[in-house]
Every structure is written in C-alpha cells, then in structure tokens.
Amino acid sequence: MTAQELLDHISDEPNQLGLLIDTLNLLKNNNGFEQDLLTPGFIKEWLVADILDHDCHKTKHGADAYSKDGTEKYEYLSCKEGGSFQLDRIHNDNLHRITRNDSFFFAQFDKKNGLECKKIWKGETDMVLEEAVKKINSMSESSKHIGFSTKWVSDNCELVFEK
C-alpha cells in the first residue's frame, strides 16, 4: 500500500492526523523503541537505519544505530539539501561522543520533502574527529555546535546511498 492509498483509505475518518500519528506511535512501540516519537532527530534516524539495514537505537542514549550483529556503533548526522551536518553540544571534554562510534553517516534529505533521503555518505571516525577538533579549536567559547559542509562530506566520505 502506498502513502496515498493509505490516506485515501482513511479519508472519511474525522481525525486523520491523530489516527496516523497513533499508528506511527504503535509501530514505534511494536519495534521496541522507548523514546517519544517526537524526540528530535528520531524519525530521521529511524529512516536512515532502515535504508542502511542498521538497528536504530531503542533509547535516546548512546550511539544512533548499531550493526545488525551489534558489534559496531554509528552516529548519524542529517541535513536538508543546501544545509550543513550539525554536531550539537560538542567540546573538547566530550569528544567521546565522536570516538565511541565506528563510523559516521551523513544523510542528506530533500529540501522540499524533508522526509525523503537523497544521499548518505559514510565517514571514518578518525577523519571526523580530526575535522571536529579543528573546528572546536577555532570556535568561540559560547558556541558548542560544529557543522560539516556537504562539500567536506562529499570530498572526505564514501557515498553509500543515492536516490
């Protein structure tokens, strides 16, 4: 069934939005996820994990996803076309948020349809760490967010998915 067919099927329902959100929440719960459906970044992380055949995290703590055998940890950064991939609340005292991961995945979503993933690149943790440290050392004390441009990602990472 397509999304349009589902929408047509429920067209006579009085609260279509509530029904669809409740259905997505049930799917989330049936898949063992503990966090709130509207936790920032969760839906995109779930979408990326599904595309890459990874296991998405079940709570909001730790890595964003894991290999199917559970031996590798992954961090996902996402943005819309034309944006940059943001790593929030990062500084020299919590670089473990980078080093705990075996790889980084940078997912670029469609500018108009923010739920359509267009490209995903895979980056090596050492390279991401090196660039992050450069950015941290050059940013002001008040800023705790760093960005990776699409150019940096495309020049330094392997394209592993393109729609």
| CATH number for the domain that contains residue 85 | 3.40.210.10
| C-alpha 116, offset from chain centre | 12
Confidence of residue 140 (pLDDT cuts 50, 70, 90): confident
For the chain, the domain total comes to 1
Whole-model pTM: value is 0.91
For tokens 């349809």, what's the residue?
A: 113
- What values do phi and psi take at 49, rounded to 5? -60, -40
> Is 95 domain-assigned?
yes
Q: What is the pLDDT of residues 32-82, one digit of tens each?
A: 998 898 888 899 999 999 999 999 998 877 899 999 999 999 999 999 999
> Is 18 domain-assigned?
no
- What values do phi and psi take at 12, rounded to 5? -90, -5
Confidence of residue 93 (pLDDT cuts 50, 70, 90): confident
> Is 131 domain-assigned?
yes
> Is 50 domain-assigned?
yes
> Is 36 domain-assigned?
no
Q: Residue 80's beta-bridge partner residues?
A: 109
> Is 135 domain-assigned?
yes
Full domain range(s) for residue 85: 41-162
> Is 27 domain-assigned?
no
| C-alpha 69, offset from chain centre | 20
